[in-house]
Chains A and B, each alone.
Chain A
Amino acid sequence: MIEIIELSKYYGTKQVLSNINMTFLEGNVYGIVGENGAGKTTLFRCIAGLEYYEGKINARLSPLKNHLGLLLTEPYLFSKITGKEYIQLLCNAREIKIGDIDLKNIFELPLNQYASTYSTGMKKKLAITAILLQENTYFILDEPFNGVDIQSNIIITEIIHKLRELNKIVIISSHIFSTLSDTCDEIHLLKNGVFIKTVKKEEFTQLETEMKEMTVGNKIEKLELK
């Protein structure tokens, strides 16, 4: 379980997250949606302990960060490190012995090449592989489907299902609604640093319609496309 109690975050005088209360349970996949700048990444960084914040974050396994696989929107890679070495580094960080990495290379990445030469999607797949091999209990995946080819998106979706089966906690953000509806048990809508709505699986279609109406409105008509 991960429990967030009255979490607030300020950058200078600007409040980015406001009094967030939330509980994430094992064996569930949670989607966080919101416009750019809504506070999703800041929330993830707070949960990971990368940001100072007000409030409390408790987890069954403590310290939370040592059991958390964090996928950043744009994974950072060193200029002269191979894919294999990147995985080795992240597994060393958690003292995990991985054996033959090539056997676990499910995305068929060129692991002996410098990871900095990878495409955006390949970098993301490498980072996903690494956090999976870290044997984490909690996962935060910040836009895991962005820039990834359709075949790999199918694999990532299946991985998320498997993580749920293994009783892990998975928190995902995505700008592609269908990826969330395929994987999540609950979706939370974040707006200006506040959770304004929580939706269960059976109400996802309704949420999508509401979001469309709220986001698009009559904006397309304003373009007067001809």
Chain B
Amino acid sequence: MTNRRLKEFGFEPVFGYLLILASFTGLSFFLFYKTEFAQYIYMLISLALTSKLSGTGRNDFLKLCFSDRHYKLVRNIENLTSAIPFLIFLIYKQFFIGSIILTVISLILGLSSFKTNLNVTIPTPFYKKPFEFTVGFRNTFLIFPITYILTIIAVFVDNFNLGIFSFLLVFVVALSFYTKPENEYFVWSFALTPKQFIIEKIKTALFFISILSLPIILTLCVLYYENIDALIAFYLLGCLFLITIILAKYAAYPYEMNLPEVIIIAISISFPPLLLVLTPYFYLKATKKLQHYLA
């Protein structure tokens, strides 16, 4: 399945695995370089990933397929495989006790199954215009209080850049709401032309991102009035990226964005004027792709 996902994304699986390995190693070194609490964060990340394997649905399926003995064996192998990259790095960093604790908890998790999704309905201010911000907000809701707290910290330590960082974080999270294509039924249902559909999506996204970032914008506007021009520039740039990602999503529709498109968008982060070319290009491609689903 991973091979298929990598191929869909435009990677040869072998390069995909190498890239994942390189990213994992790089991020691990970065984490241990940055903070003394790295081993605890590292263990938590590993356990969070491993706990995803304890979902009731997949465990019920495994129990049906395997005998009790084989089921336990499969689950332990799964959990150890998931923890191994983290264990190797912990051992390399000589955190032996941490690696033993991680092994033991991973094995214990292998004997349990629980609901991995929180089914409590999280209220959102976006219920009138589902679905991107409604679903995205619920998937990432913990990040928003964190960004607001970061803004408060930025004010207390008088660090405008930290405020801008939390502001940009809201935009980055919102961009992730538009990375996966929705089922064709939810495009087809719209009684709009491709152009109207795209404008509607953009209008909704810009309105909702403004709501999400409003507490940060207002705080920074009032307390760093002298930097308002920078704030406006970052806001406009964020909006432009949001528009680009929406257009790129529908330019690839019904498939996920592939590697070349992701690379071009990534390049435009360091060279934003590129967006002025990308946006119309994606727009034309998106209207063409949507023609099949919309009148």
Contact = CB atoms under 8 A, between A and B. Distances in A.
B191 A117 contact: no
A72 interface: yes
A86 B129 CA distance: 10
B293 interface: yes
Nearest to A112: B121
Contacts of A85: 127, 130-131, 134
Interface residues of B, number: 26
A125 interface: no
A92 interface: yes
A76 interface: yes
Contact of A81 (B119, B130, B184): B130
Contacts of A88: 127-130
A86 B189 contact: no
Given A78-B135, A89-B186, A117 B119 contact: yes
Interface string A67-89: 00010100010111110111011
A65 interface: yes
Contacts of B186: 76, 89, 93
B130 A70 contact: no
B66 interface: no
A213 interface: no
Contacts of A95: 191
A82 B131 CA distance: 10
Interface string B115-138: 001010110000111110011001
A223 to B, nearest CB: 26
Contacts of A65: 188, 191, 295
B183 A76 contact: yes
B190 interface: yes
B190 A80 contact: no
A205 interface: no
A113 interface: yes
Contacts of B185: 70, 72, 76
Given A50-B184, A85-B130, A88-B130, A93 B191 contact: yes
Interface in A92-113: 92-95, 112-113
A90 interface: yes
Contacts of A90: 189
Nearest to A48: B188
Contacts of B121: 82, 112-114
A49 B188 contact: yes
Interface string B277-295: 0000000000000001101
Contact of A114 (B119, B182, B189, B292): B119
Contacts of A82: 121, 127
Nearest to A88: B130
Nearest to A94: B191
Contacts of B191: 65-66, 93-95
A89 B131 contact: yes
B188 A50 contact: yes
A7 to B, nearest CB: 17
Interface in A110-164: 112-114, 117
B188 to A, nearest CB: 6
A52 B293 CA distance: 10
Q: Which 3 A-B pairs have the closest CB atoms?
A: A63-B295, A66-B191, A93-B189
Interface of B: 117, 119, 121-122, 127-131, 134-135, 138-139, 182-186, 188-192, 292-293, 295
6 contacts: A79-B117, A82-B121, A85-B127, A85-B131, A88-B127, A89-B130
